Amino acid sequence: MLIGVLALQGDVSEHFNILRNLLAAEEVTLVKTKERISELDGLIIPGGESTTVGKLMVKYGIDKKIKSSENLAIFGTCTGAILLAKKILGMKQFTLNLMDFEVERNAYGRQRESFEADLAIPVLDGKPFRGIFIRAPVIKNVGKKVKVLARYKNDPVLIEEDRFLAATFHPELTDDIRIHKYFIKIVRKYL
Amino acid sequence: MTETGTEKVKRGLAQMLKGGVIMDVTNAEQAVIAEEAGAVAVMALERVPADIRAAGGVARMADPKKIEEIMDAVTIPVMAKVRIGHFAEAQILEAMGVDFIDESEVLTPADERNHIDKTKFKVPFVCGARSLGEALRRIGEGAAMIRTKGEAGSGNVVEAVRHMREVMGHIRKLQNMSEDELMTEAKEMGAPYDLVKETAKLGRLPVVNFAAGGIATPADASLMMQLGADGIFVGSGIFKSENPAARAKAIVMATTHYDDPKVLIEASKGIGEAMKGLDIRSLKPEELLQTRGV
């Protein structure tokens, strides 16, 4: 099994370090080019600036490669979740259109309104998960096949659809590895 | 319980900017060019540092109207500068909803002894540093992000290199010290002991560290990334060059692929002339911006 972290821009090393704690060295890698996408069983699209990462993906043809990889499991956090969405409300910004939901960018406001809060996530055992929301998007209009794994004040914040997992917060900024473990299980299922 | 303005949330925004380029802009049109080119954030200014240097006089926080115009034009985070120690300017920017505040030596310092107590703000701050001691003092005051000072508006990377090497080299020295040597080291650096210990343990600064002050070419960006920068600020380097849009894109490309010389060839080709730049040795000591607020 090989899981890559897309290393175009963003908090790449935070995801990489968590994966390295959970997996063997040869199971984790950083990816910047389209050629390497086909080697992967799983891909994490990290937090970053969605406009920047989207543009670089298109520029290097990584978007097409991701879309044509039929068994590739993908986990997107914040920017990654935005890029997995069907479309961005009120904006003509690029997305991969891989999951059945729409997204509103910076929906909580500006950085001043960024926050952390405890989330109840029933699929993870035990205590609540500390969600760190930074200029976070809000998930809207989820399709029938989308499983909502957690909500914050009624809005979905962690969702799953087949081989895709999207979080509007940043598990990689905490020491809590449970969501990464959950993603690894999804990757294994589609091997 | 929901909490805003926590250390995690403030440092976290800086972490989201890693591997990216933050560009100085002076109006909405430039901000759109920067966003189009793939900037991760823009720094809203009335004048770029090269022009501040040329204009002389007292340089202050930009007109809020100017900053608002830029905030309205783009969806990426907007940063703005305040004078060192000028917490009232910072309060204004926070109330406006600016995403990140740069307590900057590029503006004329308002307090020659103290920096702003940045822990009092919900908005994160970035501060310049020439050495590890300076960086850890700023983090101790609550900075969520550090950048090298370099020499702003010079178009000459030499000072940014000096400052990055100084910080990274000093961290490597700390890592080789035994615990009982760290207190004396902290005393000599004039830095908080707990942050010195934390840095020695992490082998890096506890916050994101960008390069700034004189970066003008894709190769400059690659150099700074290879020296250990987490990302790049480009001030005068873009909008003082011949073809800002092409140069902005090229520097973004070089920052992502800093370790791939083949991509750097592409990035460096046919992007017009860089800004002219200054020999630092031709500046009088009082003309240096980096010695402000240490």
ipTM: 0.98
CATH architecture of A3-189: 3-Layer(aba) Sandwich (3.40)
| Rounded CA separation A84/A133 (Å) | 18
| Rounded CA separation B130/B148 (Å) | 6
Asked if residue B276 lies in contact with residue B156, where contact means CB atoms within 8 angstroms, the answer is no
- Given an 8 Å threshold on Cβ–Cβ distance, is B256 in contact with A111? no
| Rounded CA separation B240/B208 (Å) | 27
| Ranges assigned E (strand) in chain B | 3-4, 21-25, 41-44, 78-83, 100-104, 125-129, 145-148, 208-210, 232-234
The residue with greater pLDDT, B286 or A148, is A148
Verdict on whether the full-model pTM lies above 0.90:
yes
DSSP 8-class letter at B62:
P
pLDDT beneath 50, residues of chain A: none
Look-up: residue for tokens 């917490």? Answer: B87
Confidence of residue B152 (pLDDT cuts 50, 70, 90): very high
pLDDT digits (tens, 9 = 90+) for B221-279: 999 999 999 999 999 999 999 999 999 999 999 999 999 999 999 999 999 999 999 99
Residue-range domain boundaries for chain A: 3-189
Per-residue model confidence (pLDDT) at position A126: 85
Q: Is B81 a catalytic residue?
A: yes
- The Cα of B45 is separated from the nearest Cα of chain A by a number of Å equal to 19
Q: Which amino acid makes up residue B214? A: G
- The Cα of A145 is separated from the nearest Cα of chain B by a number of Å equal to 30
Is B122 in the A-facing interface, judged by CB distances under 8 Å?
A: yes
Q: Which helix (H) or strand (E) holds B28?
A: helix B28-37
- Given an 8 Å threshold on Cβ–Cβ distance, is A49 in contact with B5? no
Q: Roughly how many angstroms between the first and final C-alpha of chain A, as a whole number?
A: 8
Q: Roughly how many angstroms between the first and final C-alpha of chain B, as a whole number?
A: 38
Of B2, B208, B249, B227, nearest to B125 by C-alpha is: B208
**Continuous H helices in chain A:** 12-22, 34-37, 50-59, 62-67, 79-84, 178-189
pLDDT digits (tens, 9 = 90+) for B38-74: 999 999 999 999 999 889 889 999 999 999 999 999 9
